[in-house]
Amino acid sequence: MSALLAYLANIRIAIRTSLRDRTNFLLQAGGMVLNDIFFLTLWYMFFAGFRQVGGWGLHDVALLLGITMCVVAISGVFFGGYRDLAATILRGELDALLTQPRAVLPRMIARESIPHGWGDLIMGVWILAAFANLTLAEIPLVVLGIATGLVVYLGASIVYASLAFWFAGARSFARDLTDFMLMFSSYPGSIYSGMTRVVAYSLLPAGFVVMAPVQFLRAPSLEGLAVMLGAALLYAGLAWVAFHAGLRRYRQGMVAGL
């Protein structure tokens, strides 16, 4: 409960700070809306000429894009500190947090709210509503898919960032891995096979971020639900273990340096 309260207090401040400069906020959010419109237009033009790609049509890709945008948007707006978590660790900013009794990780991911995330959120919801061919009965399933994808995405990103506890080059490496995960999440799952499919469901878990939710929505089943929930629990656990193992190493280094 104290960790949740600490997170809520910090993210409230972070969101207010991101909204303070209205011009910057509107430019970032508006720029992301334009970027997403351009990306959607490319796919729309593609499907105007080719009706399907590996069994995926426009509605399926719209579902994939909408879920991906919502996952990235919610991560940026409400957990924005994840994006540069490795740099935060390497700059030694943990030292001040360790003097306080509350949980470290919730406060670290709540340190920032990314303004352009609001643009992604607007576009994600709009794409799902306008192009994904969803029914009202499917809305709770979409929300569930976004929630599980969000946990996997944040969990994997935190695991990447936790590498900073072990080596100094982790900042760019962690960002690259997160960006590759997003790239894998932006294309139909049918294009991945062999080793690329293994990577998409392990090291860069785009398969669990968005492909598994899309598959579940296309053909709901208990097995698909178990896959989504199991992946969310797995990557949340990995993130917790990786970060706190690194944190213990960081504390030991502080003690050794005294």
Tell me how many domains the chain contains.
Answer: 1
Q: How many C-beta neighbours within 10 Å does residue 70 have?
A: 25
User: CB-based burial of residue 138 (10 Å sphere; 0-12 exposed, 13-18 middle, 19+ buried)?
Assistant: middle
Rounded to the nearest angstrom, the gap between the alpha carbon of residue 76 and the centroid of all alpha carbons in its chain is 8
Angle at the Cα of 176 from the Cα atoms of 252 and 23, rounded to 5 degrees: 100
pTM: 0.93
Residue 244: CB partners within 8 Å, gap ≥ 6?
Answer: 105
Angle between helices 139-162 and 222-257 (to 10 degrees): 30
Tens digits of residue pLDDT in 38-65: 988 988 888 888 878 778 888 999 999 9
Domain that holds residue 46: 2-257
State the pLDDT at residue 3: 80
pLDDT at position 170, please? 85
